[in-house]
Amino acid sequence: QSALTQPASVSGSPGQSITISCTGTSSDVGGYNYVCWYQQHPGKAPKLLIYDVSDRPSGVSNRFSGSKSGNTASLTISGLQAEDEADYYCSSYTSSSTRWVFGGGTKLTVL
């Protein structure tokens, strides 16, 4: 069982916006602004989308945005496109010796 809780699946139509939540504790998500989001297409390695809660690496579309409130972080994808269909994972630094914890992943379906 993953340390961070994400919904198993979300869906949306092209052009719509969706939000994926990631719930942890005060020892990880709530305690640090070190939340990341990764996109993973089938058979591929995860790709960094968001770091430090809401920052985007260069080259990542501004349709992807991140935020955090308390122990819950969120990823919003606006203007859904077919190529956004993928699995999305959150991660957070943790004060435990594990250092990094991940969510169980959310499968995004673009209808």
Partner 1 sequence: QVQLQQSGPGLVKPSQTLSLTCAISGDSVSSNSAAWTWIRQSPSRGLEWLGRTYYRSKWYRDYAVSVKSRITINPDTSKNQFSLQLNSVTPEDTAVYYCAREGRNWFDPWGQGTLVTVSS
Q: Which is nearer to partner 1, 29 or 80 (CB)?
A: 29
Q: Which amino acid is at 23?
A: T
In sequence order, the 6+-apart residues with CB closer than 8 A to the CB of 62 are 56
CB of 102 to partner 1, least distance (A): 4
Q: Which residues bind partner 1 (CB under 8 A)?
A: 2, 34, 36, 38, 44-48, 51-52, 57, 89, 91, 93, 97-105
Q: Which is nearer to partner 1, 42 or 83 (CB)?
A: 42
Question: Half-sphere exposure (CA, 13 Å, Cβ side) for 63?
Answer: 13
